[in-house]
């Protein structure tokens, strides 16, 4: 038996992949220093919630807007990388 639930293991993998995607694929120079702090998933793996942190408080709103506008691309790239 695995020491962690599947949702926990998958959350950690998604966290790493999203961090990599944001770093390498989101090319907006206005994007501040963003950290993916946590990913929580439901037990049925259908819904995940991603938490981010922005280094400079004054860049928070703009960085969140940039991430939201890149959401579709991030999801598509994540789907390519994950085969669950």
* Residue 18, domain CATH: 3.30.300.20
48-56: list long-range contacts, CB under 8 Å, 24+ apart.
Answer: 48/11, 48/14, 50/14, 50/15, 50/18, 56/32
Question: Does the residue 69 lie in any domain?
Answer: yes
Domain count, the chain: 1
Question: Does the residue 30 lie in any domain?
Answer: yes
Which pTM was predicted?
0.87
At residue 70, the pLDDT reads: 96
Question: Does the residue 1 lie in any domain?
Answer: no
Question: Does the residue 27 lie in any domain?
Answer: yes
Per run of 10 residues, the mean pLDDT along the chain (length 84 residues) is: 78 97 94 94 92 89 95 96 81
Residues spanned by the domain of 68: 6-81
Q: For residue 22, with 0-12 CB atoms within 10 Å meaning exposed, 13-18 middle and 19 or more buried, which class applies?
A: buried
Question: Does the residue 76 lie in any domain?
Answer: yes
Question: Does the residue 67 lie in any domain?
Answer: yes
């Amino acid at each position: 038996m695995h020491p962690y639930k599947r949702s926990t293991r998958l959350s950690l993998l998604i966290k790493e992949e999203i961090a990599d995607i944001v770093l390498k694929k989101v090319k907006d120079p206005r994007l501040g220093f963003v950290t993916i702090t946590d990913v929580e998933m439901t037990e049925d793996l259908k819904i995940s919630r991603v938490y981010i942190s922005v280094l400079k408080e004054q860049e928070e709103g703009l960085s969140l807007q940039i991430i939201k506008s890149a959401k579709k691309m991030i999801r598509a790239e994540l789907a390519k990388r994950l085969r669950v």
